[in-house]
Structure 1
């Protein structure tokens, strides 16, 4: 690991000694000081989030909550204030954890609307086809098709309606002030608004939108995306006897988000930039 972002969960009472509390829960996973069998977790950390729309959105009515967390100064001492309505952490009940899905859904819906607004004034759209002539059935097939048939994809993407729709989506993204969701151009297959309903299009996009991939849970589980969770002070999996806090399995992309959403409202959630 070089650097990653992680949300640390703490009891609400930890706010008065926040850095000390983070130090305590992070200590079991520190390089060369923690468990003898795990040396790659971290060697430094800093509180980061809120300055570049990269932290938590604050729920309306909670902007003045004194428990909200600001990010640490940079290494040269520069203090970067959070954008209005954003923070690096705070009590779970003051944070809008669902905002990223709301943002993604609104943008996907606007993308679908733009397609159907543009379609009547452009030549008929021809879907990207498999060598057999059948449409690609799903997102992964579109991706595979792009890699395997670059020339065909280039001709496909040059269609006037696709080009106009891409420009419209770029305009939507430029005006967007929520979470960064630039993947709207790459994750949802080109032409999909013609192949599904608005509800299906929005659902496909929002199903991939998750805020948190890595989390250190209230009960000491280091859950890093793509790896087995590690419990503080325990032997490595599968010898740890404690139940995992949530599944780490394909199709569980939003598992960490759901875990956070179920925590008590006074639980502190803090974004860290972790280096290891």
Structure 2
């Protein structure tokens, strides 16, 4: 991590973090241990919080450990299964239940409008506009029978693709497209620091910690494009079983 510490007069692309801590088991953003490995002493758990004390891991979760003890593929596999079941349920019910109206319909209802007005101005000079607070509209949207049925299924959380602001357009995809999109969403979104010192950030060019800057880096032959989430996941999947992977929570 040291080559990417902030305030060290590095090039801007290497100025990445101010402080970090080992964290992921207690908040669910870490790694799932393989079945039967949850109590293995080689697993790594969250550092205690300075004021709140210990942060125990959620059941089956950890902040890291040897690659061979971590279930990296399981969450994606489960997301694919759940997405397929959710897509099937939507298309089974859509012709049997009242048509679902999009969130935008409820957002524009008169009762969900507020008057946009600078402080001290005459209210009559400013029209009503849709409320930027989506809470009332979202409650009405979710109250629709078909949306209620989808949200009540045990596989909804793992199977839905980006519920907000509106999940309906996703079900216009084919089943294969929907499942593939959910698999993509289930992949880790965090940055990656590789064994050979590359800082991999989504939508940015990889940065080599041993080089002064992107412009002067001589190692860019194979690292000239941003990595996708699938490429980062594949990197972790193909690490040897004894390589230790740790999730860090960074203040940037």
Once residues 33 and 168 of structure 1 are traced to their aligned partners in structure 2, the CA distance between those partners, rounded to angstroms, is 54
Q: Does 1:167 align with 2:145?
A: no
- Which residue of structure 2 aligns with residue 248 of structure 1? 226
Indicate how the Cα distance of structure 1 residues 107 and 41 shifts in structure 2: closer, same or farther if over 3 A, else same.
Answer: same
- Which residue of structure 2 aligns with residue 258 of structure 1? 234
Q: 1:183 Cα deviation (Å)?
A: 4.6
1:246·1:259 contact (CA, 8 Å) conserved in 2? no
- Which residue of structure 2 aligns with residue 89 of structure 1? 64
1:162·1:191 contact (CA, 8 Å) conserved in 2? no
Q: 1:240 Cα deviation (Å)?
A: 0.7
1:246·1:256 contact (CA, 8 Å) conserved in 2? no
Indicate how the Cα distance of structure 1 residues 267 and 245 shifts in structure 2: closer, same or farther if over 3 A, else same.
Answer: farther
- Which of 161-170 and 85-94 deviates more? 161-170
Structure 2 matches for 1:28-47, cutoff 5 A?
Answer: 28-33=3-8, 35=10, 40-47=15-22
Q: 1:72 Cα deviation (Å)?
A: 0.6
Q: 1:117 Cα deviation (Å)?
A: 3.7
Q: 1:238 Cα deviation (Å)?
A: 3.5
TM-score for both structures, normalised by structure 2 = 0.73
SS at match of 2:186: coil
Q: Which has the larger radius of gyration?
A: 2
1:221·1:232 contact (CA, 8 Å) conserved in 2? yes
Once residues 253 and 63 of structure 1 are traced to their aligned partners in structure 2, the CA distance between those partners, rounded to angstroms, is 26
Q: Does 1:209 align with 2:186?
A: yes
Once residues 228 and 221 of structure 1 are traced to their aligned partners in structure 2, the CA distance between those partners, rounded to angstroms, is 10
Once residues 246 and 83 of structure 1 are traced to their aligned partners in structure 2, the CA distance between those partners, rounded to angstroms, is 38
Q: 1:185 Cα deviation (Å)?
A: 1.8
CA RMSD in angstroms comes to 3.5
Indicate how the Cα distance of structure 1 residues 67 and 246 shifts in structure 2: closer, same or farther if over 3 A, else same.
Answer: farther
2:188·2:233 contact (CA, 8 Å) conserved in 1? yes
TM-score for both structures, normalised by structure 1 = 0.67
Structure 2 matches for 1:1-276, cutoff 5 A?
Answer: 26-33=1-8, 35=10, 40-123=15-98, 150-151=104-105, 163-172=144-153, 183-186=161-164, 189-190=167-168, 192-193=170-171, 195-243=172-220, 244=222, 247-248=225-226, 252-276=228-252
2:31·2:61 contact (CA, 8 Å) conserved in 1? yes
Q: 1:269 Cα deviation (Å)?
A: 0.7
Paired residues, number: 223
SS at match of 2:65: strand
Q: 1:29 Cα deviation (Å)?
A: 1.4
SS at match of 1:256: helix
Q: Residues 170-208 of structure 1, C-alpha deviation per residue, up to 9 Å, x if partnerless? A: 2236885x7xx7654248851654x45433331232233
- Which of 58-67 and 198-207 deviates more? 198-207
SS at match of 2:37: coil
